[in-house]
């Protein structure tokens, strides 16, 4: 190379040589090592433990114990030995009148014995039956007297009343004589009739009924009295209810006669009249007089029905029960919906629309907002051509036809009436070759939204079926939803609801109420259920089937033409036409040429019959269901293959129905049968618990099993119940979310999940995390770690680790040599990451052992020499979990018991998540490392009520 100032032969080569020299120089500078040892000083145990201080404290404690022991011996000797100085007189005290007092005491005892014998053999002389009869007769006479007497007025005796009436009559006759005298009729003196006064009750009037049905008070001469002198039916009802509130009458008959057999408007008049007469609130008085047993019934009969509906809707939105919210909003008419929204605003100081926007998310928000908007078409007009067009548009729509606010179905819900939508869904089934719209909804929509939409479609086909189902699910006299629903439907369509109940459950609604509702209000509830609305027709023959149009239009995708199919019979709801006894169908010759096939491709007559398509669809659904069951079974089998040393195994004689009944009975017992609950939950595998959870939802639809367990058990059980009732992937996603909100990569649960899950499990965890928490797991992890560690975590989330247990010594030596970088390891080097991220745990452990033999230092010290700070701790935790998960979890369990306090969440999550994998090995390793069993540590240091559940999972309860 020429020196400076000399010309070069080739500038490009010269520049290349210069760059190469500079690059070599930089590499030498980068690879140079300091000559001065700048490592942190070695930690000496004697400086940390301070043994001299501990020795001094022990010696001082020994001295204190010795002094306490001497003091205790002195106090014991003083208490046992008699006093040396005695100041008491040593003679026996004697009473002078002791014999007399003993004699008197014996006499008293003999008298008491005789009195007790007489009382024992004495029979009552008062007959309670006669007293009860006299009381009832007196009560009946008092009731008659009260009905004939004016309230709040002094009762005038009969003889005084007779005198007053005689004076009034004489005054009237005298006034008539004066009028005749003034008019010049004095000469016509007729003989006055004798004064006769008849007594017909407290007044001289008798009650007659006019032609219009109103009561009139008439005197003996037939003249009508003033209307203010008689009590209307509303007054009588108010008086009867006042007696019930004060405990003067039986509530059953009065409620039936004066409230149940009245309409809502009449009950409102009674409520107002009661307040005018007594200046009291009727509902409050009845509640204070009858108690809590009558609270639901009183509120349902006397309070506005929209208040109860608003409460149900508010609770449904708070709990995320979109199915109930949709049912309530869809079954409300426009007028009722307006009243419901006003009541909701008054009760909760917030509009219904605002609550829906805050509590829900799309697509449920779009559906609820559409229903809450109101203004729907309530007519029964159906246009066949429009229905056919809407069905084709719904069938040909793509994504969002069910969920989007601009989708076809929600547009139909806004603009069309119920019968029109039913017809559109039936035509949709025909266009879809027999596949129901509900099947497409389940396949295309999320679970919660599909359940809400299917509930809407069920209400669409028959609201009485929906209300019958709700009555069955909520049947309890203390359930406000059941009582409110029974009262509200008793004035609308309770006969149709009874009929639907009989058809669906093969039982009479009255009989179920009589047998299931053993309560003081049962008689009134039966009367309400047996009520017939005033405007209900006596005979109602209505064909509820929805007729399909006679012409079905099929649109061709090739030439844009329409082919018309005329039918000779009416097509009713469903994919299959109504069968008729007609001539056998004409056999059609199938086209043989390709052109003919194209020609008849879109001809409905050339298609197979709709019945065959429907049967094929049913068969296809059964096959899909069978495939789903087989898939779940394979997943459970794979899980059990990994259950090498788990403490929970699948139960042999597993019966989900029996387990659900056993849990239900245990949860209803008082006190709670916690042992039975723990036995069921901890002796079933996770797959069996999922089946049991689904069976519970089918049998007891109001509450989920998880919610019921959390409600009955203490708050300390929430974490354990969450882990036991979720699937493993769901629980892993939940634990990752909790760890990211807390310690991040310092959380042992997060490290263990990332280090031990395979690719399939990690994929499922990421999907569940995305669905439940609306966030990407990888992005959340990388956002919480150091940038130098982010690439390692991303690769770890791919789960490419081998899942076998085979070990190859030659491969381990080669990998250890590749990892060795001058006696250390580079964490960003490919050989290191290939071993840590792809090899199975046993192979990784062997490779690390070979690395230690090769370099003289273990892998953790090499990592500590390469990285520092939090990144060093994270790498060491991840590598230790990958090398030996059992040892890692055993160490983390021990550290969870120490420190500032017991980390209950970590203990619960480790035990639950590893219960079906390697918890037995973790228990053994824990005892080997700490010379104390995990169960003993739990019993001694775990403060929560869930201790018994954890011990049962360990198998040591």
pLDDT at 57: 94
How many residues belong to the chain? Answer: 957
Q: Please report where in the chains the tokens 């990958």 appear, as a residue.
A: 882
Percent of the chain clearing pLDDT 70 (strictly above):
78
Give the list of residues 6+ apart from residue 325 with CB closer than 8 angstroms, or none.
313, 316, 317, 368, 452
Whether cis (ω within 30° of 0) applies to the bond prior to 747 is no
Q: How far apart are CA 232 and CA 650, in angstroms?
A: 72
Structure tokens at 842: 């046993």
Structure tokens at 298: 């009183």
**How many Cα atoms within 13 Å fall on the side-chain side of residue 940?**
9
pLDDT at 641: 56
Q: How far apart are CA 247 and CA 233, in angstroms?
A: 21
pLDDT tens per residue, range 202-236: 343 333 343 333 333 343 333 333 333 334 578 88
Say if residues 490 and 528 touch (Cβ distance below 8 Å).
Answer: yes
**How many Cα atoms within 13 Å fall on the side-chain side of residue 613?**
17
Q: How far apart are CA 123 and CA 102, in angstroms?
A: 34
pLDDT at 585: 44
Among candidate residues 470, 487, 473, 472, the one with its CA nearest the CA of residue 521: 487
Give the list of residues 6+ apart from residue 162 with CB closer than 8 angstroms, or none.
197, 199
Residue 88 has pLDDT above 70, yes or no: no
Q: How far apart are CA 133 and CA 141, in angstroms?
A: 12
Among candidate residues 932, 926, 931, 935, the one with its CA nearest the CA of residue 954: 935
Q: What phi and psi, each to the nearest 5 degrees, are found at residue 563?
A: -110, 130
Q: What phi and psi, each to the nearest 5 degrees, are found at residue 206?
A: -120, 145
Say if residues 646 and 680 touch (Cβ distance below 8 Å).
Answer: no
Residue 26 class from Cβ within 10 Å (0-12 exposed, 13-18 middle, 19+ buried)? exposed
Say if residues 347 and 307 touch (Cβ distance below 8 Å).
Answer: yes
Among candidate residues 174, 187, 219, the one with its CA nearest the CA of residue 201: 219
SS3 555: strand
Residue 891 has pLDDT above 70, yes or no: yes
Most confident option among 218-222, 352-356, 372-376? 352-356
Helix axes 364-373, 352-359, angle to 10 degrees: 170
SS3 209: strand
SS3 644: coil
Structure tokens at 403: 């969920």
Q: How far apart are CA 278 and CA 264, in angstroms?
A: 21
pTM, entire model: 0.40
Alpha helices by DSSP H, listed for 700-806, are: 705-712, 718-725, 728-741, 748-756, 759-773, 777-783, 787-797
pLDDT tens per residue, range 438-490: 777 777 777 777 777 777 777 777 777 778 887 888 888 888 878 887 887 88
pLDDT at 2: 63
Structure tokens at 642: 């990994």
pLDDT at 788: 67
pLDDT at 189: 42
Give the list of residues 6+ apart from residue 147 with CB closer than 8 angstroms, or none.
239
Q: Between 238 and 541, where is the model more confident?
A: 238
pLDDT at 506: 76
pLDDT at 615: 43
Structure tokens at 943: 């403060």
Strands (E), 459-547: none
pLDDT at 562: 38
Structure tokens at 176: 């008539």
Query: What's the pLDDT band for 569 if we cut at 50, 70, 90?
Result: very low
pLDDT tens per residue, range 738-781: 888 876 767 778 888 887 887 788 888 888 988 888 888 888 88
Structure tokens at 430: 């025909």
SS3 571: strand
Q: What phi and psi, each to the nearest 5 degrees, are found at residue 272?
A: -70, -40
Structure tokens at 529: 């259920």
pLDDT at 16: 92
Beta bridge partners of 460: none
Residue 60 has pLDDT above 90, yes or no: yes
Among candidate residues 956, 938, 955, the one with its CA nearest the CA of residue 947: 938
Give the list of residues 6+ apart from residue 42 with CB closer than 8 angstroms, or none.
none
Question: Span 122-141, mean pLDDT?
Answer: 82
Query: What's the pLDDT band for 155 if we cut at 50, 70, 90?
Result: low
Q: Between 547 and 331, where is the model more confident?
A: 331
Say if residues 462 and 497 touch (Cβ distance below 8 Å).
Answer: no
The pLDDT mean for the chain works out to: 75
Give the list of residues 6+ apart from residue 404 with CB closer than 8 angstroms, or none.
363, 366, 410
pLDDT at 112: 92
C-beta neighbour count of 727 within 10 angstroms: 17
Structure tokens at 488: 């509200």
pLDDT at 592: 43
Percent of the chain clearing pLDDT 90 (strictly above):
5
Say if residues 929 and 890 touch (Cβ distance below 8 Å).
Answer: yes
Q: Please report where in the chains the tokens 């006969």 appear, as a residue.
A: 495
pLDDT at 557: 39
């Amino acid at each position: 190379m020429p020196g400076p100032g000399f010309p070069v032969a080739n500038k490009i080569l010269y520049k290349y040589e210069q760059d190469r020299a500079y690059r070599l120089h930089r590499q030498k500078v980068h690879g140079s090592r300091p000559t001065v040892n700048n490592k942190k000083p070695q930690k000496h145990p004697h400086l940390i433990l301070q043994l001299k201080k501990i020795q001094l404290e022990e010696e001082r404690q020994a001295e204190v114990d010795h002094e306490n022991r001497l003091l205790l011996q002195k106090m014991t000797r003083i208490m046992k030995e008699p006093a040396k100085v005695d100041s008491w007189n040593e003679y026996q005290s004697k009473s002078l009148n002791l014999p007399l007092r003993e004699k008197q005491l014996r006499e008293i005892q003999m008298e008491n014995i005789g009195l007790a014998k007489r009382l024992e053999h004495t029979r009552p002389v008062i007959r309670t039956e006669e007293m009860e009869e006299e009381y009832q007769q007196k009560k009946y006479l008092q009731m008659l007297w009260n009905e004939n007497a004016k309230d709040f007025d002094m009762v005038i005796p009969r003889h005084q009343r007779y005198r007053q009436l005689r004076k009034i009559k004489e005054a009237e006759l005298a006034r008539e004589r004066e009028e005749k005298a003034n008019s010049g009729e004095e000469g016509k003196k007729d003989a006055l009739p004798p004064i006769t006064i008849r007594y017909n009750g407290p007044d001289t009037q008798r009650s007659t009924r006019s032609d219009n049905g109103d009561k009139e008070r008439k005197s003996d001469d037939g003249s009508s009295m003033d209307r203010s002198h008689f009590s209307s039916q509303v007054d009588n009802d108010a008086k009867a209810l006042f007696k019930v509130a004060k405990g003067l009458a039986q509530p059953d008959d009065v409620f039936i006669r004066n409230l149940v057999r009245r309409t809502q408007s009449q009950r409102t008049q009674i409520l107002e009249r009661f307040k005018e007469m007594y200046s009291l609130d009727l509902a409050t008085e009845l509640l204070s007089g009858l108690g809590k047993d009558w609270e639901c019934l009183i509120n349902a009969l006397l309070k506005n029905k929209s208040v109860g509906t608003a409460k149900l809707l508010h609770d449904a939105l708070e709990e995320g029960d979109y199915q109930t919210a949709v049912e309530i909003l869809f079954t409300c008419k426009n007028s009722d919906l307006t009243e419901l929204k006003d009541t909701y605003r008054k009760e909760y100081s917030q509009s219904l629309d605002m609550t829906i926007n805050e509590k829900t998310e799309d697509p449920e928000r779009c559906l609820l907002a559409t229903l809450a908007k109101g203004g729907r078409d309530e007519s029964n007009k159906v246009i066949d051509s429009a229905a056919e067009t809407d069905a084709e548009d719904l069938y040909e729509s793509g994504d969002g036809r069910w969920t989007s606010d601009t989708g076809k179905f929600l547009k139909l819900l806004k603009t069309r009436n119920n019968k029109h939508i039913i017809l559109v869904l039936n035509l949709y089934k025909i266009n879809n070759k027999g596949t129901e719209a509900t099947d497409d909804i389940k396949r295309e929509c999320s679970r919660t939204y599909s359940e809400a939409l299917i509930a809407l479609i069920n209400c669409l086909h028959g609201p009485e079926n929906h209300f019958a189902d709700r009555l069955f699910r909520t049947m309890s006299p203390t359930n406000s939803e059941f009582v409110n629903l029974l009262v509200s439907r008793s004035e609308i369509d309770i006969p149709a609801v009874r009929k639907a109940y009989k058809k669906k459950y093969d039982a009479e609604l009255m009989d179920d109420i009589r047998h299931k509702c053993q309560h003081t209000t049962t008689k009134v509830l039966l009367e309400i259920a047996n009520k017939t609305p005033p405007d209900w027709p006596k005979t109602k023959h209505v064909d509820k089937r929805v007729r399909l149009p006679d012409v079905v239009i099929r649109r061709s995708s090739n030439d844009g033409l329409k082919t018309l199919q005329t039918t000779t019979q009416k097509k009713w709801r469903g994919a299959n036409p109504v069968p008729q006894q007609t001539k056998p169908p004409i056999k059609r010759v199938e086209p043989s040429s390709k052109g003919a096939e194209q020609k008849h491709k879109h001809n409905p007559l050339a298609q197979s019959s709709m019945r065959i398509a429907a049967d094929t669809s049913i068969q296809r659904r059964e096959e899909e269901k069978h495939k789903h069951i087989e898939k779940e079974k394979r997943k459970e089998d794979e899980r059990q293959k990994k259950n090498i040393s788990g403490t929970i195994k699948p139960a042999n004689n597993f019966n989900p129905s029996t387990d659900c009944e056993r849990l239900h009975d245990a949860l209803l017992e008082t006190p709670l049968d916690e042992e039975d609950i723990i036995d069921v939950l901890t002796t079933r595998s996770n797959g069996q618990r999922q089946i049991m959870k689904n069976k519970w939802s089918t049998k007891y639809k109001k509450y989920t099993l998880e919610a019921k367990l959390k409600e009955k058990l203490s708050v300390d059980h929430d974490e354990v119940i969450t882990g036991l009732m979720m699937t493993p992937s769901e629980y892993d996603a939940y634990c990752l979310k909790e760890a990211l909100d807390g310690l991040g990569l310092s959380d042992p649960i997060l490290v263990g999940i990332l280090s031990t899950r395979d690719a399939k499990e990690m994929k499922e965890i990421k999907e569940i995390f995305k669905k439940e928490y609306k966030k990407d797991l990888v992005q959340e992890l990388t956002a919480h770690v150091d940038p130098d560690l982010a690439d390692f975590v991303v690769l770890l989330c791919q789960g490419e680790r081998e899942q076998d247990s085979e070990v190859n010594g030659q491969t381990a030596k080669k990998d250890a040599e590749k990892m060795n970088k001058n006696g250390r390891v580079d964490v960003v080097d490919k050989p290191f990451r290939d071993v840590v991220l792809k090899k199975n745990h046993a192979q990784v452990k062997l490779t690390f052992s070979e690395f230690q033999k090769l370099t003289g230092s273990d892998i953790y010290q090499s990592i500590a020499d390469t990285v520092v700070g939090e990144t060093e701790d994270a790498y060491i935790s991840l590598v230790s979990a990958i090398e030996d998960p059992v040892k890692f979890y055993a160490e983390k369990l021990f550290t969870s018991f120490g420190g500032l306090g017991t980390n209950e969440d970590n203990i619960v999550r480790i035990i639950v998540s590893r219960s079906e994998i390697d918890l037995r090995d973790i228990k053994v390793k824990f005892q080997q490392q700490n010379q104390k069993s995990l169960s003993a540590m739990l019993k001694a240091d775990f403060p929560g009520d869930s201790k018994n559940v954890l011990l049962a999972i360990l198998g040591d309860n």
